């Protein structure tokens, strides 16, 4: 006889075992779907390194890039592979690392942190040193563009037209 979609409930050990296995598999699938839905609503568990309280992100993630082989070697890549990567790509994106600003309720301050994702839901935070800002794209250099002269930088900051004193040398013979 073929299977017609109904379960034979006659008292044989083989049929009873098949029913139990089928129900366990079916129950396992339902449980997995429920767990999957529960994971979606979890937020990143990033805590303040000083107070241990939850901190809120107040900026986007700024991806880090390595432009020198030494920067890759510090992250565990062999010297040979690091040199090859830098030679082939001018900027190598660093996976699982970025800069991000967070607000701490206890400090009542916004601070920039270097975030390193260690595991699936674990993060390591440290205050972002000045050197890391040179490895980020899409941000302004706080010291300004080094190719711009001091005169141009000063003129850009002037609000009024009373800055004619800088041009006095040009008008005199």
pTM over 0.75: no
Q: Please report the pLDDT score of residue 102 as a whole number.
A: 93
**Rounded Cα–Cα distance for residues 173 and 170 (Å):** 8
The C-alpha torsion from 49 through 54 and 58 to 62, rounded to 10°, is 50
The structural domains of the chain, with segments of one domain joined by +, span 10-42, 56-135
CB burial of 132-166 (b: ≥16 within 10 Å; e: otherwise) equals bbebeeeeeeeeeeeeeeeeeeeeeeeeeeeeeee
Q: pLDDT digit of tens for each residue in the chain (173 aa)?
A: 555 555 555 555 556 556 555 555 555 555 556 666 665 556 778 888 888 888 999 989 999 998 889 989 998 999 999 999 989 988 888 889 999 999 999 988 899 999 999 888 888 999 998 888 888 877 666 667 778 888 887 877 776 655 556 566 655 55
Q: Are 75 and 94 in contact (CB under 8 A)?
A: yes
């Amino acid at each position: 006889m073929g299977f017609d979609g109904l379960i034979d409930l006659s008292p044989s050990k083989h049929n009873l075992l098949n029913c139990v296995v089928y129900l366990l598999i079916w129950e396992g699938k339902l449980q997995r779907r429920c767990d999957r839905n529960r994971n979606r609503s979890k937020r990143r568990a990033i805590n303040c390194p000083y107070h241990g309280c939850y901190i809120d992100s107040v900026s986007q993630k700024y991806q880090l890039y390595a432009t020198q082989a030494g920067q890759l070697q510090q992250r565990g890549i062999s010297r040979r592979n690091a040199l090859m990567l830098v030679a082939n790509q001018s900027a190598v994106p660093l996976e699982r690392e970025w800069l991000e600003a967070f607000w701490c309720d206890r400090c009542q301050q916004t601070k920039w942190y270097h975030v390193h994702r260690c595991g699936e839901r674990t993060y390591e935070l440290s205050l972002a040193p000045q050197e890391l800002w040179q490895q980020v794209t899409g941000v302004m250099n706080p010291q300004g563009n080094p190719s711009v002269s001091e005169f141009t930088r000063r003129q850009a900051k002037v609000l009024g037209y009373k800055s004619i004193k800088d041009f006095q040398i040009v008008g005199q013979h």
